[in-house]
């Protein structure tokens, strides 16, 4: 609470300078925002400077059994590609549990006709359907949300490792093997996240938003790698995440109240391990890759980011006692204090932008000139860093053609005045969702991903 209050007090003080200062310091809120962003860039760059392609070598250890849980609610459009990709793995899972949370579309017909499953009674499980080396089980549940579906499946399997895959997520052929190998070779490993590439509906707005989100995801996953390097990874993407099953059961399973059950679970696991002196590791795997459907319209994007940021605030509030707790290691003394700053970081960004508009409208050229020099300087730094980081990303995922350097340059120049503003608005809506106690997801309309390799970014 002290950190949150301090950041707000600093914001007020910096904002007041806009009315009493001339020159660049009238834009002190923006300067603080840019300095903070640059510090994080330096940290990320230092941690990823030696990143290499992550190809796990075989280990002389027991092979972990692995079950994939697909929580589905009215996902008949998306399920075929997801299940086909799961069955077409180099190292297929031992089980696939389809946790159908009360679907009213064609999901039941799809599972019966296309996959040969027998419809179970409500709250029951079908007989396993063996497809080569993989057993497929249909859990037919009442509609109780994603966390409820995951928890039922968690108890229904006896596998060592559970991999949660969203019904609109298509893993690449090596993904399951990479996850299994990681857990088999590291007994302390408690959770992993794979690398996800967003794919939007093939409309004009979808193509534009896919462009922005593709490079946003690249930066985000490089950031997760950087935090992982100092044992501070706290965000495991629920669309494609793996956990040691026993550890999840020990902490009580997935939470059905939080707007982001994946983010909350990792905090609970971290607290549980820290309080008991357990060594639980969390990794981001460069060779566990998947594609997932992403919002292809502005309203859909804002709904998603409202939920994400609202859930982020929920989790930060629930686990505020971990901030500064030395039992949590660097997570408690470094990462969580920074995340406390991030709760109000969008306030700085929005204020900085609004002040620029005010300076333009009021013709305060004595301020705009110096500010323009600072902004141009920051954009030069951003372009250089992002072009370099894309090349580090290519090395990490083992694909020298992934992403496009020219597109990254153009995006870096236009993003602060376009897409970034949408993210700020989503964060503001997230604050309203958090303060209003919102606990609903909001639906995204699926279009169905094709099975195949990840698309190249233009």
Q: pLDDT digit string (tens) for 86-102?
A: 999 999 999 999 999 99
Summarize pLDDT for 339-354 with one digit per residue, the tens.
999 999 999 999 999 9
Checking if the pLDDT of 142 tops 80, the result is yes
| Cβ–Cβ under 8 Å, residues 170 and 451 | yes
Least confident of 40-44, 382-386, 395-399, 442-446: 442-446
Question: Most distant CA pair in the chain: distance in Å?
Answer: 75
Checking if the pLDDT of 121 tops 70, the result is yes
| Cβ–Cβ under 8 Å, residues 307 and 442 | yes
CA quadruple 401, 193, 57, 225: dihedral sign? positive
Mean pLDDT of the chain: 91
Question: How far is 386 from 412, CA to CA, in rounded Å?
Answer: 8
pLDDT on residue 147: 93
Residue with tokens 């941690």: 47
Question: How far is 392 from 276, CA to CA, in rounded Å?
Answer: 37
Of 63, 80, 51, which Cα lies nearest the Cα of 285?
51
Summarize pLDDT for 223-252 with one digit per residue, the tens.
999 999 999 999 999 899 999 999 999 999
Checking if the pLDDT of 267 tops 80, the result is yes
Question: How far is 238 from 70, CA to CA, in rounded Å?
Answer: 11
3-class SS of residue 126? coil
CA quadruple 313, 433, 300, 170: dihedral sign? positive
pLDDT class of 449 with cuts at 50, 70, 90 = low
| Cβ–Cβ under 8 Å, residues 340 and 4 | yes
Question: How far is 433 from 429, CA to CA, in rounded Å?
Answer: 6
Summarize pLDDT for 183-218 with one digit per residue, the tens.
999 999 999 999 999 999 999 999 999 999 999 999
| DSSP state string for 412-426 | HHHGGGTHHHHHHHH
Summarize pLDDT for 301-326 with one digit per residue, the tens.
999 999 999 999 999 999 999 999 99
- pLDDT above 90 covers a percentage of the chain that reads 82
Checking if the pLDDT of 454 tops 60, the result is no
Q: Pairing relation of β-strands 169-171 and 281-293?
A: antiparallel
pLDDT on residue 58: 56
Tally of CB atoms within 10 A around 74: 18
3-class SS of residue 162? strand
Question: How far is 458 from 25, CA to CA, in rounded Å?
Answer: 39
């Amino acid at each position: 609470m002290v950190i949150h209050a301090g950041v707000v007090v600093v914001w007020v003080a910096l904002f007041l300078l806009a009315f009493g200062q001339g020159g660049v310091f009238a834009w002190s809120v923006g300067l603080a925002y840019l300095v903070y962003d640059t510090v994080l860039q330096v940290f990320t760059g230092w941690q990823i400077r030696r990143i290499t392609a992550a190809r796990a070598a075989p280990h002389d250890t027991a092979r972990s059994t692995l079950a994939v849980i697909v929580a589905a609610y009215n996902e008949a459009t998306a399920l075929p590609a997801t299940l086909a990709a799961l069955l077409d793995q180099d190292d297929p899972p031992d089980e696939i549990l389809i946790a159908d949370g009360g679907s009213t579309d064609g999901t039941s017909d799809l599972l019966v006709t296309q996959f040969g499953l027998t419809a179970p009674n409500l709250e029951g499980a079908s007989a396993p359907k063996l497809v080569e080396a993989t057993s497929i089980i249909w859990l037919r549940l009442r509609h109780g949300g994603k966390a409820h579906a995951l928890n039922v499946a968690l108890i229904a399997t006896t596998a060592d490792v559970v991999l949660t895959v969203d019904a609109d997520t298509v893993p690449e052929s090596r993904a399951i093997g990479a996850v299994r190998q990681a857990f088999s070779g590291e007994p302390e490993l408690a959770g992993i996240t794979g690398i996800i590439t967003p794919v939007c509906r093939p409309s004009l707005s979808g193509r534009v938003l896919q462009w922005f989100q593709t490079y946003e995801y690249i930066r985000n996953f490089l950031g997760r790698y950087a935090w992982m390097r100092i044992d501070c990874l706290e965000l495991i993407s629920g669309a494609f995440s793996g956990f040691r099953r026993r550890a999840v059961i020990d902490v009580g399973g997935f939470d059905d109240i939080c707007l982001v059950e994946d983010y909350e679970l990792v905090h609970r696991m971290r607290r549980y391990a820290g309080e008991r002196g357990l060594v639980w590791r969390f990794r981001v795997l460069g060779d566990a890759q998947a594609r997932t459907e992403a919002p292809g319209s502005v309203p859909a994007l804002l709904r998603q980011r409202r939920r994400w940021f609202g859930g982020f605030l929920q989790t930060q509030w629930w686990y505020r006692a971990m901030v500064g707790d030395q039992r949590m290691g660097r997570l408690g003394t470094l990462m969580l204090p920074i995340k406390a700053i991030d709760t109000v970081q969008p306030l700085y960004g929005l204020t900085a932008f609004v002040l620029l508009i005010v300076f333009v409208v009021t013709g305060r050229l004595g301020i705009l000139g110096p500010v323009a020099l600072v902004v141009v300087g920051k954009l030069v730094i951003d372009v250089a860093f992002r072009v370099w980081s894309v090349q580090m990303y290519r090395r990490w995922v083992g694909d020298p053609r992934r992403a496009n350097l020219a597109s990254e340059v153009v995006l870096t120049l236009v993003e602060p005045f376009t897409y970034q503003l949408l993210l700020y608005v989503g964060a503001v809506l997230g604050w309203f969702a958090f303060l209003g106690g919102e606990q609903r997801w909001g639906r995204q309309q699926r279009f169905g991903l094709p099975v195949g390799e990840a698309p190249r970014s233009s």
